[in-house]
Amino acid sequence: MKKIKLLLLISVSAMIFTSCGNKYSIGNLKKNDKLLKETAIKCKQKKDEKICKNVEQAQNELAQEWWKKVKPEVSKKVDKISKDVLAGDASSSMESAPEKLWEWEAKHLSTTPQKAKEMTFQLLKDAAQKIKFEKFDYDLENVKTGQTSAGRNYAIIPAKSIISAQGQKMELDQKTLVFEDKNKWYLVNIDDKTKIILKELYSDLADVKNRIIKK
């Protein structure tokens, strides 16, 4: 009788373990958006090694699938930006910024989002009179993708540029962040100012692993 009870106990435990394992499998997490988000948040607080590894893998796969889908369109956009910047027009680099960014600018400048956008574009045009870009390339072959705990997909595109001003040349390494918000993708160049803005507008972007949003 004791052996039978022991076997039953082992069988029930195995069934519970299997059920739990299937629930948090990579495939199931990818299908269940709510479960993935809830578990991702829990993993930030208290890690379960196996489950959290599955969460990370599910997020990575979903982000890669998203990037594969949007890459052709993003590629066309960054190609246009490169050509415009080399031609002396840096304003197109801000055309794919989210409206929330202009609302943030407007609030801090006590103006309208449209006025904030126009002011920024004018500053870029004025800067182009003093600085010349001799090179401006996006590296789409070394993009890093990921997904935040809120389920937001993102991609980090490295960029290199060479600028000349007052007889001097300087080579710059930059990063551009592509991220989604309400089924649309946006593109923002990362600098000290946009780090602050994005961290305030999209707090989950603090999850970005290379900490481009954090100081």
Residue 185: what pLDDT? 95
pLDDT-derived band at 16 (thresholds 50, 70, 90) equals very low
Q: Is the pLDDT of residue 1 over 70?
A: no
CB atoms under 10 Å from CB of 85, counted, come to 20
Residue 56: what pLDDT? 92
pTM more than 0.85: no
Residue 14: what pLDDT? 36
Q: Which residue has the tokens 């801000």?
A: 94
Residue 15: what pLDDT? 38
Q: Answer whether 128's CB lies under 8 Å from 90's CB.
A: yes
Residue 196: what pLDDT? 87
**What percent of the chain clears pLDDT 70, i.e. is strictly above it?**
86
Q: Is the pLDDT of residue 175 over 80?
A: yes
Residue 160: what pLDDT? 94
The least confident of 76-80, 122-126, 142-146 is 122-126
- Residue 59's contacts (CB-CB under 8 Å, 6 or more residues apart) are 36, 40, 146, 147
Residue 9: what pLDDT? 43
- Tell me the chain's radius of gyration from C-alpha atoms: 23
Domains of the chain: 71-207 (3.10.450)
Q: Is the pLDDT of residue 157 over 60?
A: yes
Average the pLDDT over 117-136 and give the result.
87
